[in-house]
Amino acid sequence: MTYYLKIIPLLTKTKVIIYKIGNMTLGGTMLAEQGWNMLKKIIYNYEDLTFNFEIIDENSKKYQLDNFIEILEKIKIIEQGD
């Protein structure tokens, strides 16, 4: 399953940006991509966000941040350089 981070700016003239978080394998690992780093920044700076965001999968299913973190806690995330 592939997961994406959708950044939705508060200003309507700014474009929506979609980052790939990563692709989860059947073995329970996920190879982290650019969206993973963005997601970590969101988690650590949640109170100061100046944009809205959604976490979606390849089927356009939406996930709440806390539910998605529960999914991530059950898998191994492989970041570049690991």
28 — alpha (psi -120 to 50), left (phi > 0) or beta? Answer: left
Identify the burial level of 71 via C-beta atoms within 10 angstroms of its C-beta, where 0-12 means exposed, 13-18 middle and 19 or more buried: middle
Give the separation between CA 52 and CA 33, rounded to whole angstroms.
Answer: 20
- How many domains would you assign to the chain? 1
Q: What is the pTM of this model?
A: 0.85
Domain extent, residue 19, equals: 2-78
pLDDT in tens, 7-61: 988 877 779 999 999 999 888 899 999 999 999 999 888 888 888 999 999 999 9
pLDDT of residue 56: 97
pLDDT at 82 over 60: no
pLDDT at 77 over 80: yes
Per the CB < 8 A criterion, the answer to whether 27 and 72 are in contact is: no
